[in-house]
Amino acid sequence: MSGLQAYGYRVIPVNPNLVGERLFGEMVVSELADIEESIDLVDVFRNSYAAGGVVDEAIAIQAKAVWLQIGVIDQDAAQRALDAGLDVAMNVCPMEEIPRLGLENRVAGQQQQQGRRRSKRRRKL
Quick: pLDDT tens for 77-92: 999 999 999 999 999 9
Encode pLDDT of 46-101 as tens digits. Answer: 899 999 999 999 999 999 999 999 999 999 999 999 999 999 999 998 888 888 88
pLDDT at 108: 53
**Residue 67: closest CA among 93, 85, 48:** 93
Encode pLDDT of 7-25 as tens digits. Answer: 888 999 999 999 999 999 9
Whether the CA torsion 47, 68, 63, 77 is positive or negative: it is: negative
3-state SS of the chain is CHHHHHCCCCCCCECCCCCCCEECCEECECCHHHCCCCCCEEEECCCHHHHHHHHHHHHHCCCCEEEECCCCCCHHHHHHHHHCCCEEEECCCHHHHHHHHCHHHHHHHHHHHHHHHHHHHHHHC
Encode pLDDT of 34-44 as tens digits. Answer: 999 999 999 99
Tell me if 56 sits within 8 A of 81, measured CB to CB.
no
